[in-house]
């Protein structure tokens, strides 16, 4: 994505389990204490771009804190700056301020549109385990909660539908010496579901939703295919709607896990050997 003025490209990790977007950056005269940078360095922002934690932007400021109780630091001595913080499952913590900065988007007609959005300007990070070199410059949160990029673009009428369209390739392209290097293996659209762009007969669509108060996208897992077996998922504890298991769709995590009763079904299916391969 292109951020700042003039637009500068940054590589952002896609996270459908969060609504928080952030990039490693420097803000005005505030020193960044980040020791390891992504492939495109720091986004340089001005002090005037920092969002206030009071007034019209107060609710959006609250949406950019990882505290579940939305307890945020908002003090006069800090010029009422909106502070950004997020902690991930690996205990890594990213701190900074929320800024209102320029973002240049690629539109469906191949043109570019410049908009202003709120996201985290990370000035400090703490991570126990960090793989170097860093492959990305930050994270784009595409969850369905208030303050996410999709929500901001829809609220400001940049997109007409509050939709995240995701089209992923079924198989990784192969070559004789092994898988092809990382490249375009799908599409992501903000505001379009791809139904008018691609032949629906060759695609299988799944609607991703989730609890109204939950940011993470979710979908029903109806069956699991192991080898040549198709195992239906039935929840014994839910008699009102026992077909399928609601699972979070989180591209920010490498883990996949089931409830104990679903795992037991897979074990009893006779495909234990296939699952362990």
Average pLDDT for 205-221: 70
| pLDDT, tens digit (0-9, with 9 covering 90-100), for 97-152 | 999 999 999 887 888 999 999 999 999 888 766 666 678 899 998 888 888 898 89
Predicted TM-score (pTM) above 0.85 = no
Place 277 in a pLDDT band, splitting at 50, 70 and 90: very low
Give pLDDT, residue 120.
92
- Most confidently predicted of 1-5, 182-186, 200-204: 1-5
pLDDT cut 90: percent of the chain above it: 18
| Fold held by 2-155 | Cathepsin D, subunit A; domain 1 (2.40.70)
pLDDT cut 70: percent of the chain above it: 73
Please state whether the peptide bond connecting residue 49 to the residue before it is cis, i.e. omega within 30 degrees of 0.
no
* Domain map (residue ranges) of the chain: 2-155, 163-205, 206-277
Residue predicted with more confidence, 266 or 100 = 100
What rounded mean pLDDT belongs to the chain?
78
- Give the span between the Cα atoms of 200 and 181, in whole angstroms: 28
């Amino acid at each position: 994505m292109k951020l700042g003025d003039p637009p500068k490209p940054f590589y952002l990790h896609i996270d459908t389990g969060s609504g928080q977007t952030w990039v490693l950056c420097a803000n005005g005269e505030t020193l960044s204490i980040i020791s390891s940078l992504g492939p495109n360095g720091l986004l340089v922002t001005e002090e005037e771009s920092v969002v206030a934690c009071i007034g019209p932007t107060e609710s959006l400021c609250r949406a950019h804190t990882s505290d579940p109780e939305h307890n945020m630091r908002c003090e006069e001595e800090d010029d009422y700056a909106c502070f950004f913080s997020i902690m991930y499952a690996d205990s890594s913590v990213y701190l900074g301020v929320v800024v209102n900065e320029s973002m240049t988007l690629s539109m469906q007609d191949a043109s570019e549109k410049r908009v202003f959005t709120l996201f985290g300007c990370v000035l400090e990070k703490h991570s126990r385990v960090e793989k170097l070199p860093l492959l990305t410059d930050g994270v784009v949160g595409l969850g369905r909660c208030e303050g996410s990029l999709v929500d901001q673009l829809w609220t400001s009428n940049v997109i007409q539908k509050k939709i995240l369209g995701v089209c992923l390739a079924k198989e990784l392209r192969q070559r004789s010496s092994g898988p092809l290097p990382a490249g375009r293996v799908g599409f992501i659209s903000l505001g379009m579901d791809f139904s008018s762009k691609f032949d629906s007969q060759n695609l299988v669509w799944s609607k991703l939703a989730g609890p109204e108060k939950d940011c993470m996208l979710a979908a029903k897992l109806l069956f699991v295919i192991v080898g040549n077996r198709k195992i239906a998922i039935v929840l014994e504890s839910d008699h009102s709607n026992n077909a399928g298991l609601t699972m979070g769709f989180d591209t920010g995590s490498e883990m996949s896990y089931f409830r104990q009763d679903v795992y037991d079904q897979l074990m009893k299916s006779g495909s234990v050997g296939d699952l362990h391969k």
